Amino acid sequence: MADELLDGAELLQLYPAPTGATQALRGVDVVVRPGRVTAITGPSGSGKSSLLAILALRERPAGGELRWRGRAVSTLGRRDLHRIRRRETGWIAQVPGDCLFPQLTARRQLTQVARLRRVTPDPDAALRALDLTARAGARLAAMSGGEQQRLAVAAAAVGPPALIVADEPTAELDDDTAELVLAHLRSSAAAGAGVVMATHDARAVAFADTVLHLSRGVLSGTTSQTGNGREHATAIDGQGRIQLPAAALALFPAGQVVVTVRDGHVELHP
pLDDT in tens, 47-60: 999 999 999 999 99
First to last CA, the chain: 39
Integer angstrom CA distances of residue 124 from 65, 115, 121, 132:
40, 15, 9, 9
SS3 for 182?
helix
Alpha helices in 96-234 (DSSP H): 106-117, 123-129, 145-156, 175-190, 202-207
pTM of structure: 0.88
**What is the H or E stretch that residue 267 is in?**
strand 265-269
Residues 6+ apart with CB under 8 A from 40: 48, 51, 52, 196, 197, 198, 199, 211, 212, 214
In tens, the pLDDT along 68-125 reads 999 999 999 999 999 999 999 999 999 999 999 999 999 999 999 999 999 999 999 9
Q: How many CB atoms lie within 10 A of CB 129?
A: 18
- For residue 15, list its beta bridge partners: 22
pLDDT band at 2 (very low <50, low <70, confident <90, very high): very low
